[in-house]
């Protein structure tokens, strides 16, 4: 790219790149190859339809429906698909249940395999070399640094994701949520709780 657009850089929609993209789009629309609506729908799908919200919905549904919870824990991929989530590729999602005495946490020591259809794209820390190595070597210390100080009696289990098998954590339903409905519960579930590096906070603590 030339130096001469340095000042407004690529944030400007009159930048050379912006103009070329606009030109290409306009030609492809004119030729009937694509439509504005199709492009809009794609952008919207990737911006909004994937994200931690999908996972939160899975978790909240499992909290209110014991049968669903049982299916989720025996066949994560299938139970998640029941709610309409999962992309085109055949990776399996295994769901791990966190309890008062067991804390499952998920890592990908090799790269950054992540159950993105339910959790969105992985956060930077998940991909960091430090998390990837230390989660296995000293998980309690890592969790403490992330704000989760576990009692000694809690067993920590670390799960290493692969391209074929990706893990998602079903966090424990917090006390004080007995009267909440599914939609209200969805709002409580954080991404970090579904990676197993946090617990779902009680409603009072959320406010």
Partner 1 sequence: MAKSADVSIADMDGSEALPRKNGELVFEAPWEGRAFGLAVTLNEHGIYEWPAFRDQLVAEIADAEARGIESSYYERWATSLERLAISRGLVTPEELEARAEEYEHGNREEDWE
Q: Which stretch binds partner 1 (CB under 8 A): 21-29, 60-68, 93-101, 168-176?
A: 21-29
Give the Å distances, CA to CA, from 63 to 13, 106, 115, 157. 46, 20, 20, 22
Q: Is 128 in the site for partner 1 (CB under 8 A)?
A: no
- Has 128 been annotated as catalytic? no
Q: How far is the CB of 9 from partner 1 (least distance, A)?
A: 8
Active-site residue (options: 108, 161, 190, 193): 108
Q: Provide the 8-state DSSP code for 204.
A: H
CB neighbour class for 58 (10 Å; exposed up to 12, middle 13-18, buried from 19): buried
């999908």: which residue's tokens?
A: 54
Q: Is 206 in the site for partner 1 (CB under 8 A)?
A: no
* One residue of 60, 79, 116, 170 binding partner 1 per CB under 8 A: 116
Alpha-carbon distance 32 to 28, whole Å? 6
Question: CA nearest 109: which of 163, 169, 170?
Answer: 163
Active-site residue (options: 26, 35, 111, 133): 111
Q: Is 53 in the site for partner 1 (CB under 8 A)?
A: no
- Has 190 been annotated as catalytic? no
- Has 108 been annotated as catalytic? yes
* One residue of 46, 102, 138, 182 binding partner 1 per CB under 8 A: 46
- What positions carry a catalytic annotation? 108, 111-113
């Amino acid at each position: 790219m030339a130096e001469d657009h340095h000042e407004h850089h690529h944030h400007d929609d009159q930048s050379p790149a912006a103009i070329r993209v606009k030109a290409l789009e306009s030609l492809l629309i004119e030729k009937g190859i694509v439509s504005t609506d199709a492009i809009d729908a794609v952008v919207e799908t990737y911006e909004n339809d994937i994200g931690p919200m999908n996972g939160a919905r899975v978790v909240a549904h499992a909290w209110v429906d014991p049968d669903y919870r049982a299916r989720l824990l025996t066949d994560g991929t299938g139970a998640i698909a029941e709610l309409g989530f999962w992309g085109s590729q055949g990776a399996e999602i295994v769901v791990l249940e966190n309890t008062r005495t067991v804390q499952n946490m998920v890592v990908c020591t090799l790269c950054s395999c992540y159950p993105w259809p339910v959790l969105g794209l992985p956060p930077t820390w998940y991909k960091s070399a430090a998390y990837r190595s230390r989660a296995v070597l000293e998980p309690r210390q890592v969790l403490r640094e992330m704000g989760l100080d576990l009692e000694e009696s809690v067993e920590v289990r670390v799960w290493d994701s692969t391209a074929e098998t990706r893990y998602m954590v079903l966090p424990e339903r917090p006390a004080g949520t007995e009267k909440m409905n599914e939609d209200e519960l969805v709002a409580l579930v954080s991404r970090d709780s579904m990676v197993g590096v946090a617990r779902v906070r009680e409603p009072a603590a959320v406010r």
